[in-house]
């Protein structure tokens, strides 16, 4: 077993410095978002008959968190790949996230959704990517792609900044839609899973 020895990065100052680095990078990316895109994305989610979400890896995990929040709002929500996820059809929205915009499973999901008559909302770093070209609604997160190790856009490892910003994007959409319902948190909480 490899044990990392205490170094400057494992001390209190090192950890605090890295927390500040992450917050600083995230603040920069969030301030660079196109809020018109984000507003259209929120409208697409709120107007859909059903919302499906598809992503791979850590982006997929963030979308699972978003699915839970949208369910708390009372929306009909499904995560692609789950055993109980039904077929997507006309009137539905597929939300996909891929930093590169080329993740094969995500691109295939978007193509399948469009062929079924559904709409696609994509979140990516690359507005010229495959998945962006398939999207009816697009949100571009101005962060480094996971294989972009030397651009200077982020000192964080392999797509972390995109995934952090993706969480902020989906949470801001949730809060925007929640405010529109005027429902108290206690009502949303009644929908929270009770078989945990």
Domain boundaries, the chain: 12-189
Work out the pLDDT band at 158, boundaries 50, 70, 90: confident
Mean pLDDT, residues 32-45: 98
User: What Cα–Cα distance (Å) separates residue 104 from each residue in 16, 107, 111, 146, 161?
Assistant: 37, 5, 11, 15, 21
Q: Which tens digits make up the pLDDT trace of 89-121?
A: 999 999 999 999 999 999 999 999 999 999 999
Q: Which of the residues are catalytic?
A: 163
pTM for the model stands at 0.92
Residue 9 has pLDDT above 70, yes or no: no
Fold type of domain 12-189 = Rossmann fold (3.40.50)
């Amino acid at each position: 077993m490899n044990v990392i020895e205490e170094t400057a990065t494992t001390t209190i100052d090192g950890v605090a410095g890295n927390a500040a680095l992450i917050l600083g990078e995230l603040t920069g990316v969030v301030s660079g978002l196109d809020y018109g895109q984000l507003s259209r994305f929120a409208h697409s989610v709120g107007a859909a008959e059903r919302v499906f979400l598809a992503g791979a890896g850590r982006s997929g995990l963030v979308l699972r968190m978003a699915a839970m929040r949208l369910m708390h709002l009372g929306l009909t929500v499904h995560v692609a790949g789950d055993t109980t996820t039904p077929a997507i059809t006309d009137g539905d929205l597929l939300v996909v996230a891929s930093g590169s915009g080329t993740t094969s499973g995500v691109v295939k999901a978007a193509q399948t959704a469009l062929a079924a008559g559904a709409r696609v909302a994509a979140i990516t770093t690359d507005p010229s990517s495959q998945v962006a070209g398939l999207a009816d609604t697009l949100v571009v997160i101005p962060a480094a792609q996971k294989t972009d190790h030397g651009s200077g856009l982020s000192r964080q490892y392999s797509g972390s900044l995109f995934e952090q910003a993706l969480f902020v994007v989906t949470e801001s959409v949730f809060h925007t839609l929640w405010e529109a319902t005027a429902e108290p948190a206690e009502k949303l909480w009644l929908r929270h899973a009770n078989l945990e």
